[in-house]
Amino acid sequence: MSLWRVLEQSLRAHGQQPALTRPDGSCMDYAGLLERVEALSAKLGAFIPAGSRVAVVDEHPFEEAIQVLALIALEVTVIPLAYKYGEQRCIQIIEHTRPDFLCSSTSSLVSEAILEACRTTGTVPVIGAELQSGAPQGAGGSDGLPAEMPASFIMYTSGSTGKPKGAVLTHANILANIEDIRTYFEVGPGDHVLINRSLSHASVMTGEFLYGLIYGARVTFYTEAFVPRRLLSFMETNGVTIFCSTPTIFYQMALDRSDYRVPSLRKVALMGEYLHKQVSLKISERFSHVEFFMLYGQTEASPRITYLPSRYFTEKESCIGMTLPSMEFRIIDENGRDVEPGEPGELLVRGPNIFWGYWDQPELTAVKLRDGWLHTGDMVAQGEGRFLYISGRKDDMIIRAGMNIYPREVEDVLLADERVREAIVFGVADPKYGQKLHVCAVPYVEGGLTPADVLDICKKKLATYQYPDAVDIVQQIPRNAAGKIMRRQVTV
């Protein structure tokens, strides 16, 4: 069954139940949502054929959600853009995927730079469901994927290289993941799901937005800047029952000195970073009435891979739980041989939720899916039963407050400044954020570079989550005999 048919059945079945919260705080019911989606789908369908690639960008996630649902109904490939991560990121994705159309409910986010990218790629802007100019080039195939690729999403992840990669998730991939999620994290009518991240994240699209609507919950997008007390107040005032976030976010909420306990809250899923013992204890102490689940996943898996049942939340530090029911796993050593239980190795998984491949990157697809298994790049060990314990990453990626930071991206910005001769970026374990970002920089001229200068460079060129937490000005960076930087020997 197609993703739209599943959604349509839910929209019809739940009729007068609250479905999607409008920006003004009022709530559209399922019948109203279906009417709105069908009207928009009919309007867009007049000029967007099935099989097209369509990028979506919008000011408010409510409008973006309506557009995404309408495009799912048209059986096209949807490419969610996250404008909050910067205009340049949107342009990169447009240039890489060459969409046939770019949809937005308003012209305010469609800047001249984005329009120029559209002209370059032959992408036709659609503003407020109105075709702006020209005719699309036609839904083109990809050098890296079969021409008969089914309707899907292209969700962007930087992976271990730090370079954007478009993971193609088919509707079948997503439905398989949703079916698995249902086995341990049940939601339904009467639940109120609060979302505080972008729909460009696979975990949000699959495990929060689509999952909530398919099973009849109310979905609300929280768009304010994160302030623990304000978020707690909003959740308590609005009767939120379901929330997904990172351990860092919830830890800060647990440390807040207000009296908010959010009695309506039933279940919370935490993901995206390591869960330290003191964090889980503090969270469960503050919100003792809530079931907490620790999850692990990757965009390429649509995205959920494992879950830790709530009863083990405070007991199994560094445990990411068990693989989902439809999935198989292996743990291999550096030679590709399966390791014994208790021995560390790279986690490999396979199942119906594993992605189709990377858009236009056949070599990377072949590496990621070699021998028919998804190679996660994460080091784990199997404990008792099927419980998996994560020990680190094969690459040098830093996970700070649930956001992936790639050292090379920050280093390239620093090295582009004439005052910086060398720079190295690395993560330092931190109980609050999972990891903090530390920079060591070598100046071209002694005394010509200060920590404040390094921070200023980063603030001008990088996203907020990529700003360093600490900066040291040093005279040299350790290298091996071949002249290669010895990243793991840098200490603070």
Model pLDDT for residues 366-388, shown as the tens digit of each residue: 999 999 999 999 989 999 989 99
pLDDT at residue 162 tops 60? no
Residue spans in the chain of domains classed CATH 3.40.50.980:
27-169
pLDDT at residue 491 tops 70? no
Question: To 5 degrees, how large is the angle CA 287–CA 288–CA 293?
Answer: 80
Residue spans in the chain of domains classed CATH 3.40.50.12780:
224-352+378-394
Closest to 149 in 3D by CA, of 372, 358, 375? 358
- Mean pLDDT of all residues in 223-227: 92
Residue spans in the chain of domains classed CATH 3.30.300.30:
397-473
Superfamily of domain 397-473: ANL, C-terminal domain (3.30.300.30)
The pLDDT value given to residue 395:
72
Q: Would you place residue 479 in the very low, low, confident or very high pLDDT band (cuts 50, 70, 90)?
A: low
DSSP string, 17-37: SEEEE-TTS-EEEHHHHHHHH
Q: How far is CA 476 from the centre of its chain?
A: 36
Identity (one letter) of the amino acid at 287? F
Between residues 70 and 273, the one the model is more confident about: 70
- Mean pLDDT of all residues in 459-482: 84
The pLDDT value given to residue 84:
74
Superfamily of domain 224-352+378-394: ANL, N-terminal domain (3.40.50.12780)
CATH code: domain 27-169 is 3.40.50.980
DSSP string, 348-417: EEESTTS--EETT-HHHHHHHTGGGSEEEEEEEEE-STT-EEEEEESS--EEETTEEE-HHHHHHHHHTS
Most confident of 121-125, 426-430, 431-435: 121-125
Phi-psi domain of 339 (left: phi exceeds 0; alpha: psi -120 through 50; beta: other): beta
Least confident span in 63-67, 110-114, 175-179: 110-114
